A and B are shown apart, each in its own frame.
Chain A
Amino acid sequence: MNKTYDVAVIGGGPAGLAAAIKTADKGLKTVVIEAMNRLGGIPIQCIHTGFGLHYFKEDLTGPEFVYRFIDKVMDRDIDLLLETYVEEIINESMMSKKIKIISPKGSWIIESKTIIYAAGARERHRYEIGIPGFNVAGVYTAGEAQAMMDLYGIMPGKKILIIGSGDVGLIMARRFVLEGAEVVGVVEILGYPSGLTRNIVQCLQDFGIPLLLRHTVTEIKANNGRVSSAIISEVDESLNPTPGTEKEVKCDTIIIAAGLRPRTKLLKKMGVLIDPRTRGPIVNDYLESISVPGVFIAGNALVINDYVDYAVEQGETAAESVHEYIENKGVLSAEWRKVIPGSNILFVVPHYVSGRKDVVLYSRVSRPLENTYFQIGGIGKKIPLIKIMPSTMLRIVLRKTELSKYIGDIVVEAVEK
């Protein structure tokens, strides 16, 4: 128990597992710490296909995808701590972090030179998105409903209303229908669906499920402790409900699929700075926190990814960074260049680049755009986009050579042609 690790990976989801495989392959002493009693993270409960299109060039289900990583972890000399909850991370020095953990084997402190933090995300719930009414049974987040059904065999309800038209909401709509439930509709506050068109087709249209754009649930009604109906209203330009447009929709279950938020409680506590746009940490192109050296962040804890493939990619980048970090006793000093989200850009990750290596930028636009250029100031890189929605994460590779063409801040913007 008293050895010092080169790297402690916190979170055994896709990002953490991919990172651990890579650090172990580079000969680093690696431990994976996972709160649940099994590895795999969220994809274990995502039994639909849509995983691995980029990474494996195959269309896998969540468990199939993540078991490929679990199998690799099992084959390697990686210490695994399951049912082990990280309570606090203490930054002792650049080359020493203390991790306070608790598990059925006891509560102690693990020492490691570096941290790869891949603790995933949490879901936004009913109160966070402000749905008033009765506090009763029958309101679940998409993730909870998914775990109930697809991990533990509990059917949440039979007449379902879904709030949020992101991929998660759409996929859950289909799941419910395929288990014999009736989905009365998917309510979306924005004027456009947040999910991919292919999911609108194969999850809603295939089953004749109505999609109500520019609508929101303004009240939950109840009968004997369970949801009995929802009042839905149209919303105006500023997303406020328009009085007089209320309609009552009968349902016994309301599913909140209103998006995810990076889990950052432990990071904030140790002084990691947070980007208000991503709600994840502010990082450089090593995916290292800019305020706490030696803490690298990957996966949904860094930024909410559409594809698990990106989470894995971030895990692998973090692993390479750790390798370099340990060799050099830190990330080598650099004249950091700021990445600035310009017009029509919601965010860009990472926030700083060193110019020493190729970098992958992850970004989202702030509103639906057509016929635009995604352009990167100074470098002169221009990528044409026919149609782009905020719900689609853009992944752009900037080569080291491109970066060296120009010195100064990197402004990312989406400009209409």
Chain B
Amino acid sequence: MKSYVEKRVICIICPRGCEIRVRLVDGKIISVEGYSCPMGKKYAEQEVCSPKRVLMTIVRCENGDLPVVSVKTSGPVPKDKLLEISRYLAGIKVKPPIRIGDVIIRNVLDLGVDIVATRPCMPVENKYSDQK
């Protein structure tokens, strides 16, 4: 017997938030409806097969002007890996100077994406000296 599934996906690509219906037979996509642009169609197809997200988090930084530097993955990663990466980063400490776009970790957990800095961090004597 064939398995027939209809999945509803809310597109998160842009703030419009289209509701897209994807029909699958035996796990294969047979139709996609409700999107308003090609990016949405692509997203919905991806979302029903293997949903992916960009991770945004922080990494601790020693002797920087701030004690943490914000980072993101250079591309989307499987949704169920988000926490695993964040947990992995708990073991990482970096040192300034760090600039936006600097690669903190290459090919994190072999997922094919890098961890890159999204905020600069400059050296300072005192760790918590927000006011110098």
Residues of A within 8 A of B (CB): 37, 44, 47-49, 53, 61, 63-64, 67, 83, 149-153, 177-180, 196-198, 200-202, 206, 392
Q: Which of B17, B70, B83, B131 contacts A197 (CB 8 A)?
A: B17
**Which of B13, B56, B100 lies at the interface centre, i.e. has the most chain A CB atoms within 10 A of its CB?**
B56
Tell me if B56 and A47 are in contact (CB < 8 A). yes
Interface code B14-32, partner A: CB below 8 Å = 1, 0 otherwise?
1101000000000000000
Distance (whole angstroms) from the CB of B60 to the closest CB of chain A: 6
How many Cβ-Cβ contacts under 8 Å join chain A to chain B? 86
Tell me if A179 and B86 are in contact (CB < 8 A). yes
Distance (whole angstroms) from the CB of B86 to the closest CB of chain A: 5
Whether a CB of chain A sits under 8 angstroms from the CB of B66 is yes
Tell me if A206 and B119 are in contact (CB < 8 A). no
- A197 proximity list for chain B (CB < 8 A): 10, 17
Tell me if B57 and A206 are in contact (CB < 8 A). no
Q: Can you list 28 A-B pairs with a CB-CB distance of less than 8 A?
A: A47-B58, A47-B118, A49-B56, A61-B118, A63-B70, A63-B100, A63-B119, A63-B120, A150-B68, A151-B68, A152-B68, A152-B130, A153-B68, A177-B83, A178-B55, A178-B56, A178-B83, A178-B86, A180-B90, A198-B11, A198-B13, A198-B14, A198-B17, A201-B12, A201-B17, A202-B53, A206-B53, A392-B15
Residues of B within 8 A of A (CB): 10-15, 17, 51, 53-58, 60, 66-68, 70, 72, 79, 82-83, 86-87, 90, 100, 118-120, 128, 130-132
**A201, B54: Cα distance in complex, Å:** 14
Tell me if B130 and A37 are in contact (CB < 8 A). yes
- B86 proximity list for chain A (CB < 8 A): 178-180
Tell me if A49 and B54 are in contact (CB < 8 A). yes
Tell me if B66 and A151 are in contact (CB < 8 A). yes
**A179, B55: Cα distance in complex, Å:** 11
- A49 proximity list for chain B (CB < 8 A): 54, 56, 72
Tell me if B120 and A67 are in contact (CB < 8 A). yes
**A177, B55: Cα distance in complex, Å:** 12
- A150 proximity list for chain B (CB < 8 A): 58, 68, 70
**A48, B10: Cα distance in complex, Å:** 19
Tell me if B58 and A180 are in contact (CB < 8 A). no
Tell me if B12 and A47 are in contact (CB < 8 A). no
A50 and chain B: residue at smallest CB distance: B15
- Apart from A49-B72, A178-B82: 20 A-B pairs, beta carbons within 8 A: A44-B119, A47-B119, A49-B54, A61-B70, A63-B119, A64-B100, A64-B118, A64-B119, A149-B68, A150-B70, A151-B66, A153-B58, A177-B83, A178-B55, A178-B57, A180-B87, A180-B90, A196-B17, A198-B12, A206-B51
Given contacts A153-B67, A196-B15, A198-B15, contact A61 B72 (CB under 8 A): yes
Tell me if A63 and B17 are in contact (CB < 8 A). no
- A47 proximity list for chain B (CB < 8 A): 56-58, 70, 72, 118-119
Given contacts A152-B68, A178-B83, contact A37 B15 (CB under 8 A): no
**A152, B130: Cα distance in complex, Å:** 9
- B128 proximity list for chain A (CB < 8 A): 152
- B83 proximity list for chain A (CB < 8 A): 177-178, 180
B99 and chain A: residue at smallest CB distance: A67
**A153, B60: Cα distance in complex, Å:** 7
Distance (whole angstroms) from the CB of A234 to the closest CB of chain B: 26
B128 and chain A: residue at smallest CB distance: A152
**A196, B14: Cα distance in complex, Å:** 10
A64 and chain B: residue at smallest CB distance: B118
Tell me if B67 and A179 are in contact (CB < 8 A). no
**A177, B83: Cα distance in complex, Å:** 8
**A200, B132: Cα distance in complex, Å:** 39
| Top 8 closest pairs, chain A to chain B, by CB | A197-B17, A63-B119, A47-B70, A198-B12, A153-B67, A61-B118, A153-B68, A201-B10
